[in-house]
């Protein structure tokens, strides 16, 4: 996968150095290192960007600066524009997840891609959006939609990373072995035997079958480990012991 090109992140007219640094960190958390700036307000290099980037400053060392968006994307085959304003837009609008799938497909095919992000306060201009092939719009709470530049980069970079990450959705680290059906049966049987021996079911004999069935279902559902079964066996053993004699601290006969 290292031979696949990675998407470039292009910040158009970024205002604050801290946001550029934060963008670098957001990118590197998800393996992206191609950062491009178009007319950064405070020029380049930028001390505040370096300070904020901290250990992600490797991204800043390779950052390229351009005067226009067109120049920044000249070598790219497919460009997404990230914007919240999608009215009157004729282009295709994708969620970050759908866009990431397309970005990965382009990368696998060897095509260079890029994602535009606009100025902190106002986003991308209509002209910049026109330069892109498609739009990314992040689904947000319609009553409160306020993510900042680095957060937008983070979410898109996160979705990109998931398309290539092999982490299983769920991992179970069992240091122990789940109890097998014989061990569970043995446990159920013992409980039934001890309850029978104490006449537990005598007043409710017509419900004994259902009660025992529910109990077996419950134990199945709990997903007990082998050590859990042994623990329950210990509890049953303890509960079925005779009470201690309070007077002389010896078992009553």
Question: For binding to a second copy (CB under 8 A), which residues are involved?
Answer: 25-26, 28-31, 54-56, 86, 89-95, 97-98, 137, 139-141, 143-147, 151, 154-155, 158, 161-162, 165, 167-176
Instruction: Please report where in the chains the tokens 């072995």 appear, as a residue.
Output: 177
CA angle 85/90/93 to nearest 5° reads 60
For residue 133, the minimal CB distance to a second copy (Å) is: 12
Smaller CB separation from a second copy, 91 or 208: 91
For residue 31, the minimal CB distance to a second copy (Å) is: 4
Smaller CB separation from a second copy, 79 or 154: 154
Smaller CB separation from a second copy, 30 or 219: 30
Backbone angles phi, psi at 127, to 5 degrees: -65, -45
For residue 126, the minimal CB distance to a second copy (Å) is: 14
Q: Burial, 7: exposed, middle or buried (Cβ in 10 Å; 0-12, 13-18, 19+)?
A: buried
d(CA 195, CA 104): 61
Given a contact cutoff of 8 angstroms between Cβ atoms, the answer to whether 38 and 11 are in contact is yes
Q: Which of 19, 3, 187 is nearest to 109 (CA)?
A: 3
Given a contact cutoff of 8 angstroms between Cβ atoms, the answer to whether 75 and 133 are in contact is no
Q: How far apart are the first and last CA of the chain?
A: 75
Smaller CB separation from a second copy, 30 or 117: 30
For residue 143, the minimal CB distance to a second copy (Å) is: 8
For residue 147, the minimal CB distance to a second copy (Å) is: 6
For residue 58, the minimal CB distance to a second copy (Å) is: 9
Smaller CB separation from a second copy, 170 or 243: 170
Given a contact cutoff of 8 angstroms between Cβ atoms, the answer to whether 147 and 19 are in contact is no
d(CA 253, CA 243): 10
DSSP class of residue 16 equals -
Smaller CB separation from a second copy, 25 or 119: 25
Given a contact cutoff of 8 angstroms between Cβ atoms, the answer to whether 134 and 91 are in contact is yes
Smaller CB separation from a second copy, 220 or 227: 227
For residue 181, the minimal CB distance to a second copy (Å) is: 22
């Amino acid at each position: 996968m290292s031979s696949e090109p990675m998407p470039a992140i292009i910040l158009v007219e970024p205002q604050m150095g801290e946001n550029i640094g934060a963008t670098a960190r957001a990118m590197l958390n998800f393996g992206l290192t191609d950062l491009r700036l178009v007319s950064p307000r405070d020029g380049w290099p930028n001390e505040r960007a370096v300070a904020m980037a901290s250990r992600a400053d490797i991204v800043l060392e390779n950052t390229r600066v351009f005067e226009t968006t067109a120049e920044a994307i000249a070598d790219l085959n497919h460009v997404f524009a990230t914007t919240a304003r999608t009215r009157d837009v004729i282009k295709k609008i994708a969620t970050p997840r759908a866009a990431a799938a397309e970005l990965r497909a382009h990368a696998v095919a060897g095509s260079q891609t890029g994602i535009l992000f606009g100025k902190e306060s106002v986003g991308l201009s209509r002209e910049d959006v026109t330069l892109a092939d498609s739009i990314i719009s992040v689904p947000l709470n319609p009553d409160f939609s306020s993510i900042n530049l680095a957060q937008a980069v983070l979410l898109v970079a996160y979705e990109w990373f998931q398309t290539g990450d092999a982490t299983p959705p769920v991992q179970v680290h069992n240091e122990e072995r789940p109890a097998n059906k014989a061990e569970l049966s043995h446990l159920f049987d013992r409980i039934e035997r001890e309850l029978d021996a104490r006449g537990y079911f005598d007043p409710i004999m017509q419900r004994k079958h259902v009660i025992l069935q529910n109990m077996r279902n419950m134990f199945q559902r709990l997903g007990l480990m082998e050590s859990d079964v042994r623990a329950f066996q210990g509890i049953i053993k303890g509960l079925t012991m005779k009470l201690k004699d309070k007077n002389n601290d010896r078992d009553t006969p």
